[in-house]
């Protein structure tokens, strides 16, 4: 494979997945880690990607349509599990994302609930339901349908939630929750603090990945719902922090 062809393939992989480790690319493309590092450095230098520790991240978030079909079966299982924690009269925050979209579908028939969200697709889904619906105002990221920015965070400052469900673009090896969009990090961080009960919901594909901006740590959530398998040390660390791990299969 020619260098230009390989770099084009690397770029397509990163754009599709959002982030990737150098070791993954080396295995998939059957080249050395040194070759991959040089390729990533060149792609970073020309502004096509952002280099990060151990790999690279896309300059653009993965499109909503691509996210929605990826691991959809696991997302549905996560959503079904989350449904058990929502009760009548709850005020719920739903973070933007395709897993939280699945949760919105599952809770839409629960009586007398209020949903606050920064996701346009979730808004459209719940428009015809009996859910009391509140939309965070602000800037719209058209590729993902999420709302973010100053006005969103100011609105959240005035609110409290019984329960909140949060997605993520990446969780790195240190259990840090990451996002490609800096402005989203502020909104996510604030919303978690406004929840009496916070849930991080994510399938295994988001783990051991990285993105541009730090949001918070898995230890900042009350519960984690995932099919990802944590190491013994990670499980103990989360247990010590009071974070409950809810495994789906």
CATH code at 65-247: 3.40.50.1360
Domain ranges of the chain: 3-58, 65-247
Question: pLDDT tens for residues 142-168?
Answer: 878 899 999 999 999 999 999 999 999
- Res 61: pLDDT: 63
**Under CATH, what is the fold of the domain 3-58?**
Arc Repressor Mutant, subunit A (1.10.10)
- At residue 170, φ and ψ (nearest 5 deg) are -160, 150
Judged by DSSP in three states, 115 sits in strand
Half-sphere exposure of 77 (CA within 13 A, CB side): 15
pLDDT over threshold 90, residue 64: no
Question: pLDDT tens for residues 12-31?
Answer: 888 777 778 888 889 989 99
- Res 66: pLDDT: 54
- Res 93: pLDDT: 98
Entry pTM: 0.78
* Same fold? 3-58, 65-247: no
Give CA–CA dist 247/249, Å, rounded: 7
Query: Residue 164: which of 222, 125, 229, 110 has the closest Cα?
Result: 222
Average pLDDT, integer, range 190-202: 98
Rg (CA), the chain: 19
């Amino acid at each position: 494979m020619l260098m230009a062809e390989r770099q084009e393939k690397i770029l397509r992989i990163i754009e599709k997945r959002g982030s990737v480790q150098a070791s993954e690319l080396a295995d998939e493309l059957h080249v050395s880690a040194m070759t991959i590092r040089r390729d990533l450095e060149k792609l970073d230098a020309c502004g096509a990607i952002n280099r990060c520790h151990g790999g690279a991240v896309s300059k653009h978030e993965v499109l909503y349509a691509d996210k929605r079909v990826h691991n959809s079966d696991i997302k549905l299982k996560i959503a079904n599990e989350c449904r058990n924690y929502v009760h009548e009269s709850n005020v719920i925050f739903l973070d933007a994302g395709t897993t939280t979209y699945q949760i919105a579908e599952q809770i839409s028939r629960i009586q007398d609930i209020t949903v606050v969200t920064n996701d346009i697709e979730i808004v459209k889904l719940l428009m015809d339901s009996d859910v009391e619906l509140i939309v965070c105002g602000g800037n719209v990221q058209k590729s993902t349908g999420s709302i973010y920015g100053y006005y969103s965070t100011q609105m959240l400052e005035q609110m409290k939630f019984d329960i909140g469900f949060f997605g993520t673009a990446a969780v790195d090896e240190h259990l840090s929750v990451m996002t490609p969009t800096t402005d989203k990090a502020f909104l996510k961080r604030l919303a978690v603090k406004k929840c009496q009960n916070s849930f991080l919901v994510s399938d295994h594909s988001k783990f051991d990945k990285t993105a541009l901006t730090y949001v918070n740590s898995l230890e900042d959530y009350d519960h984690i719902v995932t099919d990802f398998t944590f190491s013994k040390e990670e499980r103990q660390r989360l247990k010590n922090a009071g974070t409950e791990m809810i495994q789906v299969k």
